[in-house]
C-alpha cells in the first residue's frame, strides 16, 4: 500500500487530455463511464436495495450447476434516470442470474461443479493462423488474436487445489452444447477466506468476464478444528457479512425493431488486435446482420446491480468481502458524503485479509486499492448518526484510470469519481467491537519464506541462487503496424510460443516481477496485475519506478505491478502437480498472449530425463499396440513402418485446441533443434481435418520435418492406447523406441506441454535401447491410469 501511494503521486498533475494523447492504446480501449455513476444528481435518484447472490453449499457428489446461458436483463429505473443506459441488456451469465451463485465450502471438502455451456454459438475454431505467421521480420507476432467467444471453462481463483484433470484445469474447453463436471478437493489445511470463480478459456476470458460471468467462492473453516480462522474471532463472527462481487462492463448497444436500445458486450470494444473486427459476440448476441452497433459506456456493477444500497445501523461492524472481478481497470474505493465531493472518513474500513488470506492485522485503509482479480476483506465500523438525523447515506465511490489520473482529492472530483454503491445508516445503534490485534495475528496462515528455503537449482527461469525474473512488457508502438495496437508479452513472448516454467515440488523460489512500459508512461496504465494459479506467494519487496525499494511481507495470489516498477516475491511449491499458468489479470492482455505455462513437477522430473515412476510422463515398457490410420491425404500409415527410429506419438484433440497446437508446434521446433536425434513425430487427431492448409499453417510443419498427421475420428487408436473411449478422446503422449516398445507414457486432460523434457527423455531412451530388441510378445493393452479423481483425495494426478 505504501508502494501504491507512491505512484499516485507520480501521476498527479497530469490532465486527462494530455495523458490520452500520450497513450494511443488507452484511447483505443477507454470507454467513458455512464453518467448515472459519475453524476451525483443522477446517482441520488437511484435507490435499489442490494440483493445478494444465491448461496449454494455443495453436498456430497451433487454438483453445483453453473449453466452458461444468454439472458435478457432490464434496468428500467437506471435507464429512466440515465438514457445512456439501455433499458435492456443481453448478457452471458450463470443460471440466468445477474451474478453467479456464492459457493460456500469447507476446508478439506471435496465438491463438484458442473459447467453446462448452453450457448448456441459456434464451437471454438482454435487459434487464428495469424498468430503463427511471420510478422515485422520476426517468425511470429508479439500478440494473439482472441477467439472462441462461446467456449468456456472454469477457474477457481485462489484455491490451493490441483490444476490437473477435472480440477482447476484452465486448459479445458467446454464448447457450446456440451458440459463438464469439475471435481475439487480442498486440502485439510486450506485457508478459510474469500475466493472466486470465473471462466478462463484463453482467447475469450475478458469477453466473458465483461459480461459478468463470475461468482464468489467462500471457503469456511471447520468449527472446532485447530486452525485459527477469522471466522472464529467472536467480533468477526458477529459481524454481518456482505459479499460484493464487482464486475466491469463495457457495453455497446443497438436499437431493435421497436426502437428499444439493447445493450450487449462487443468484443471489438475489449480487444485491440483484429483489424477485421470480430463478429459481434460470435454471432449470437448483438445487432442483426447489417446493423452496426453503437458505442455505449462502461459501468461497474455490484453483484450485477447498478449502485445497490446496503443497510446498517449506527455503531455496527460489518464484514465486507470485496471481490474485484473486473477484467480491467485498477480501482480505488473510498467513502464519500452524498454530495460526492466530501470524504467520509467516519465510515472506517479495516483491512483484515488480502486475496482471502488473513493479514494478521487490523489495517485502517482508505481508499481500498484493488486490481482485477484481487479480493479485500474489510471490516466497516458504521458511524453514529448526528443528533436529530434519522438516516444518513454514504456513497462508495471508485476512482480509476478512466476517470482520474490525479491523486485522490487533487483535482475537481466530480469527474474523477463514480458511485458504485450506497450505504444507508439508520435505526437503533448497536455499538459493536472490532477484533483484537492478538486474535487477528493468530490467523496469519503461512510463515514467511526464509532465504534457506530458496531452491539452488537450474530450471527454466530460476538461477543458481534461487532467483529468477519475469518481465511483463507492454509495447505501444509510436507507429503501430496495421495489424496490432498494444502488444502484451511476458519475457518478450506471447503465450502460444512459451515453454513452461518448470517448478519442482519441495522447493521455494524467488522471482522479480517487473512491468515494463515506455519511460514517462503512467505507471497505472503501464501496469499489470500478476496472477499465478494454485499457489499463493509472499511479497517481499517493492521497487518503485524511481528505484526506491521498500520491504514488505504479505501473502497474495494477485499483485498489481505498476509500469517500470517491480516486486520481489517468493513462493513455495509443495504438493500439487500438473500444468497451469501465470498471467496478467487484465484479461484482454491475457487473451492476447500475456500468459506463460507453469509446470509443477515432482523432483525426479527436474533432473531432465531422470526416470521417476511417479512422474507425469511415466516410465513404461510394453509393446506398442498396432496403429494403422489414414493420414490427412487418406494414405494409410502403419506405426510399424517407423521401427528402428524413435517415435513421439501424440494423441490430440484436433486443430481446434489451441493448447494442442501449441504443444505440437513446440515439439516440431524442439525436433529441429535436436539435430541427430531423428525423432518421428506422429500426431493423431481426434477430429477430421476440414481445412488442411489452415491446419498446416497452424502446425507450422514443412516438408523436411519428420511429422505425420493422422486422423482417428472414431477414436479406435485412442482406445487401443488407453486414452479414449467410444465417446471421448483424451490427450496422450507415448514415446516409442526403435523396437516398437512404449517407454514413456502420459495420458491426461491437457497436452503434455513440455517438449524439452520429451526430447530429453527420448535421448535417454535411445541411449538405453537394447540393440536387437526382445523376442516378440503378445500386445497387452496398458491398464488405464486411474482417472484424475480429485474426490478420491490427494489433489495430484498420478
Of 89 and 525, CB closest to Cu ion: 525
Alpha-carbon distance of 701 to 656, in angstroms, equals 17
Distance of closest approach, residue 591 Cβ to Cu ion, in angstroms: 11
Of 328 and 355, CB closest to Cu ion: 328
Distance of closest approach, residue 587 Cβ to Cu ion, in angstroms: 9
Distance of closest approach, residue 528 Cβ to Cu ion, in angstroms: 3
Alpha-carbon distance of 513 to 449, in angstroms, equals 17
Phi, psi dihedral angles at 758 (to 5 degrees): -60, -45
**Which window, 244-252, 394-402, 585-593, 735-743, contacts Cu ion (CB under 5 A)?**
585-593
Of 584 and 710, CB closest to Cu ion: 584
Q: In what order do the strands lie in the sheet with 308-312?
A: 48-49, 308-312, 417-426, 391-400, 331-336, 368-370
Of 591 and 754, CB closest to Cu ion: 591
Angle at 89 between CA 258 and CA 57, to 5 degrees: 145
Instruction: Fill in the per-residue mask, 334 to 353: x = in contact with Cu ion (CB under 5 A), - = not in contact.
Output: --------------------
**What counts of helices (H) and strands (E) characterise the chain?**
15, 41
Distance of closest approach, residue 488 Cβ to Cu ion, in angstroms: 6
Distance of closest approach, residue 792 Cβ to Cu ion, in angstroms: 37
SS3 437: helix
**Interacting residue with Cu ion among 589, 665, 731, 741 (CB under 5 A):** 589
Of 561 and 698, CB closest to Cu ion: 561
Count how many Cα atoms sit within 13 Å of the Cα of residue 436 in the half-sphere of its side chain: 5
Q: What DSSP string describes 214-246?
A: -EEEEEEPPTT-SS--GGGSHHHHTSEEEEEEE
SS3 699: helix
Of 25 and 751, CB closest to Cu ion: 25
Dihedral sign (CA 638, 639, 640, 642) = positive
Alpha-carbon distance of 76 to 160, in angstroms, equals 41
Give residues 620-679 in contact with Cu ion (rule: CB under 5 A).
none
Give residues 750-779 in contact with Cu ion (rule: CB under 5 A).
none
Question: Does residue 586 bind Cu ion (CB under 5 A)?
Answer: yes
SS3 141: coil
Distance of closest approach, residue 148 Cβ to Cu ion, in angstroms: 20
DSSP state of 131: G
Alpha-carbon distance of 184 to 789, in angstroms, equals 9
Distance of closest approach, residue 562 Cβ to Cu ion, in angstroms: 11
Number of residues that bind Cu ion (CB under 5 A): 4
Alpha-carbon distance of 478 to 463, in angstroms, equals 35
Angle at 584 between CA 579 and CA 590, to 5 degrees: 75
Give kind and range of the element (H or E) at residue 424: strand 417-426
Q: Which three cell numbers stand for residue 198?
A: 470465473
Residue with cell 488507452: 26
Q: Which of 164, 153, 46 is nearest to 786 (CA)?
A: 164
Residue with cell 509393446: 623
Distance of closest approach, residue 457 Cβ to Cu ion, in angstroms: 29
Dihedral sign (CA 157, 162, 168, 171) = positive
Give residues 58-117 in contact with Cu ion (rule: CB under 5 A).
none
Of 524 and 598, CB closest to Cu ion: 524
Give kind and range of the element (H or E) at residue 513: strand 507-516
Of 229 and 475, CB closest to Cu ion: 475
Question: Does residue 583 bind Cu ion (CB under 5 A)?
Answer: no
Of 404 and 586, CB closest to Cu ion: 586
Distance of closest approach, residue 126 Cβ to Cu ion, in angstroms: 24
Residue 196 burial class via C-beta count within 10 angstroms: exposed 0-12, middle 13-18, buried 19 and up: buried
Give residues 505-534 in contact with Cu ion (rule: CB under 5 A).
528
Of 539 and 586, CB closest to Cu ion: 586
Distance of closest approach, residue 185 Cβ to Cu ion, in angstroms: 31
Of 70 and 589, CB closest to Cu ion: 589
Distance of closest approach, residue 493 Cβ to Cu ion, in angstroms: 15
Q: Which of 176, 123, 184 is nearest to 159 (CA)?
A: 184
Distance of closest approach, residue 594 Cβ to Cu ion, in angstroms: 5
Q: What DSSP string describes 674-688?
A: STTT-EEEEEEESS-
**Which window, 71-79, 398-406, 548-556, 588-596, contacts Cu ion (CB under 5 A)?**
588-596
Q: What DSSP string describes 5-53?
A: HHHHHHHTT--HHHHHHH-HHHHHH--PBPHHHH-HHHHHH--EE--PP
Alpha-carbon distance of 616 to 162, in angstroms, equals 13
Distance of closest approach, residue 270 Cβ to Cu ion, in angstroms: 13
Of 25 and 314, CB closest to Cu ion: 25
Give the pairing of strands 679-685 and 731-736: unpaired
Of 527 and 740, CB closest to Cu ion: 527
**Interacting residue with Cu ion among 379, 425, 584, 637 (CB under 5 A):** 584
SS3 525: coil
Of 269 and 615, CB closest to Cu ion: 269
Question: Does residue 270 bind Cu ion (CB under 5 A)?
Answer: no
Distance of closest approach, residue 654 Cβ to Cu ion, in angstroms: 30
Distance of closest approach, residue 476 Cβ to Cu ion, in angstroms: 12
Of 236 and 584, CB closest to Cu ion: 584
Distance of closest approach, residue 586 Cβ to Cu ion, in angstroms: 4
Of 169 and 487, CB closest to Cu ion: 487
Instruction: Fill in the per-residue mask, 543 to 582: x = in contact with Cu ion (CB under 5 A), - = not in contact.
Output: ----------------------------------------
Helix extents (H) in 369-526: 437-441
Cβ atoms of 195 and 409 within 8 Å: the answer is no
Interface residue list for Cu ion (CB under 5 A):
528, 584, 586, 589
Amino acid at each position: 500500500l505504501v508502494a501504491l501511494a507512491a505512484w499516485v503521486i507520480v501521476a498527479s498533475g497530469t490532465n486527462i487530455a494530455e495523458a490520452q494523447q500520450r497513450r494511443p492504446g488507452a484511447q483505443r480501449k477507454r470507454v467513458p463511464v455512464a453518467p448515472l455513476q459519475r453524476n451525483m444528481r443522477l446517482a441520488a435518484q437511484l435507490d435499489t436495495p442490494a440483493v445478494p447472490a444465491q448461496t449454494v453449499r455443495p453436498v456430497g457428489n451433487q454438483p453445483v450447476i453453473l449453466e452458461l446461458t444468454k439472458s435478457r436483463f432490464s434496468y428500467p429505473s437506471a435507464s429512466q434516470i440515465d438514457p445512456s443506459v439501455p433499458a435492456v441488456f443481453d448478457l452471458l451469465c450463470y443460471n440466468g442470474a445477474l451474478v453467479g451463485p456464492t459457493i460456500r465450502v469447507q476446508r478439506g471438502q471435496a465438491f463438484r461443479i458442473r459447467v453446462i455451456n448452453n450457448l448456441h454459438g459456434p464451437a471454438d475454431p482454435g487459434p487464428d493462423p495469424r498468430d503463427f505467421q511471420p510478422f515485422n521480420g520476426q517468425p511470429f507476432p508479439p500478440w494473439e488474436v482472441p477467439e472462441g467467444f462461446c467456449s468456456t471453462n472454469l477457474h477457481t481463483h485462489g484455491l490451493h487445489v490441483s490444476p490437473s484433470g477435472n480440477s482447476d484445469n484452465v486448459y479445458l474447453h467446454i464448447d457450446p452444447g456440451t458440459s463438464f463436471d469439475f471435481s475439487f478437493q480442498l486440502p485439510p489445511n486450506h485457508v478459510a477466506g474469500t475466493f472466486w470463480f470465473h471462466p478462463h478459456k484463453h482467447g475469450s476470458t475478458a469477453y466473458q468476464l465483461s459480461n459478468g460471468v463470475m461468482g464468489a467462492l467462500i471457503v469456511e473453516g471447520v468449527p472446532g478444528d485447530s486452525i485459527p480462522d477469522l471466522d472464529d474471532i467472536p467480533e468477526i463472527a458477529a459481524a454481518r457479512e456482505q459479499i460484493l462481487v464487482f464486475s466491469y462492463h463495457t457495453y455497446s448497444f443497438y436499437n431493435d425493431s421497436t426502437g428499444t436500445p439493447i445493450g450487449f458486450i462487443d468484443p471489438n470494444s475489449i480487444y485491440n488486435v483484429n483489424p477485421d473486427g470480430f463478429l459481434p459476440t460470435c454471432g449470437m448476441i448483438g445487432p442483426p446482420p447489417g446493423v452496426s452497433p453503437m458505442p455505449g459506456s462502461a459501468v461497474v456493477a455490484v453483484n450485477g446491480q447498478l449502485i445497490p444500497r446496503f443497510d446498517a445501523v449506527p455503531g455496527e461492524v460489518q464484514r465486507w468481502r470485496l471481490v474485484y472481478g473486473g477484467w480491467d481497470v485498477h480501482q480505488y474505493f473510498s467513502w464519500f458524503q452524498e454530495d460526492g465531493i466530501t470524504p467520509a472518513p467516519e465510515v472506517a474500513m479495516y483491512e483484515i485479509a488480502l486475496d482471502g488470506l488473513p493479514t494478521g492485522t487490523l489495517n485502517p485503509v482508505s481508499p481500498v486499492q484493488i486490481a482485477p482479480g484481487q479480493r479485500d476483506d474489510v471490516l466497516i465500523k458504521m458511524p453514529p448518526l448526528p443528533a436529530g438525523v434519522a438516516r444518513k447515506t454514504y456513497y462508495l465511490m471508485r476512482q480509476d484510470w478512466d476517470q482520474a489520473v490525479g491523486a485522490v482529492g487533487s483535482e475537481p472530483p466530480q469527474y474523477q469519481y463514480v458511485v458504485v454503491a450506497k450505504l444507508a445508516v439508520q435505526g437503533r445503534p448497536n455499538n459493536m467491537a472490532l477484533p483484537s490485534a492478538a486474535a487477528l495475528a493468530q490467523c496469519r496462515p503461512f510463515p514467511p519464506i526464509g532465504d534457506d528455503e530458496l531452491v539452488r537449482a537450474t530450471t527454466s527461469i530460476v538461477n543458481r541462487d534461487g532467483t529468477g525474473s519475469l518481465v511483463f512488457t507492454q509495447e505501444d508502438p509510436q507507429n503501430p503496424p496495421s495489424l496490432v495496437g498494444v502488444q502484451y508479452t511476458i519475457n518478450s513472448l506471447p503465450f502460444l510460443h512459451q515453454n513452461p516454467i518448470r517448478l519442482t515440488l519441495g522447493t521455494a523460489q524467488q522471482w522479480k516481477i517487473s512491468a515494463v512500459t515506455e519511460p514517462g508512461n503512467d505507471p497505472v496504465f503501464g501496469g499489470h496485475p500478476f496472477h499465478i494459479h494454485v499457489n499463493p506467494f509472499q511479497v517481499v519487496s517493492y521497487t518503485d519506478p524511481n528505484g526506491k525499494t521498500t520491504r514488505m511481507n504479505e501473502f497474495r495470489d494477485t499483485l498489481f505491478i505498476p509500469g517500470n516498477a517491480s516486486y520481489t516475491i517468493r513462493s513455495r511449491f509443495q504438493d500439487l502437480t500438473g500444468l497451469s499458468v501465470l498471467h496478467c489479470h487484465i484479461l484482454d492482455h491475457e487473451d492476447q498472449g500475456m500468459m506463460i505455462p507453469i509446470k509443477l513437477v515432482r523432483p525426479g522430473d527436474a533432473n531432465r530425463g531422470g526416470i521417476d515412476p511417479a512422474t507425469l510422463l511415466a516410465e513404461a515398457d510394453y509393446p506398442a499396440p498396432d496403429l494403422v490410420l489414414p493420414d490427412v491425404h487418406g494414405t494409410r500409415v502403419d506405426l510399424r513402418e517407423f521401427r528402428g527410429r524413435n517415435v513421439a506419438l501424440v494423441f490430440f484433440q484436433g486443430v481446434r485446441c489451441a493448447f494442442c497446437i501449441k504443444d505440437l508446434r513446440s515439439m516440431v521446433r524442439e525436433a529441429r533443434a535436436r539435430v541427430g536425434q531423428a525423432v518421428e513425430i506422429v500426431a493423431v487427431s481426434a477430429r477430421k481435418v476440414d481445412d488442411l492448409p489452415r491446419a498446416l499453417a497452424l502446425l507450422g510443419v514443412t516438408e523436411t520435418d519428420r511429422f505425420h498427421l493422422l486422423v482417428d475420428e472414431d477414436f479406435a487408436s485412442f482406445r487401443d492406447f488407453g486414452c479414449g473411449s467410444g465417446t471421448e478422446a483424451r490427450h496422450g503422449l507415448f514415446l516409442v523406441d526403435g523396437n516398437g516398445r512404449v517407454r514413456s507414457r502420459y495420458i491426461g486432460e491437457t497436452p503434455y506441454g513440455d517438449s524439452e523434457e520429451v526430447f530429453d527423455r527420448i535421448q535417454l531412451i535411445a541411449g538405453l535401447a537394447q540393440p536387437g530388441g526382445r523376442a516378440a510378445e503378445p500386445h497387452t493393452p496398458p491398464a488405464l491410469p486411474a482417472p484424475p479423481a480429485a474426490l478420491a483425495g490427494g489433489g495430484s494426478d498420478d
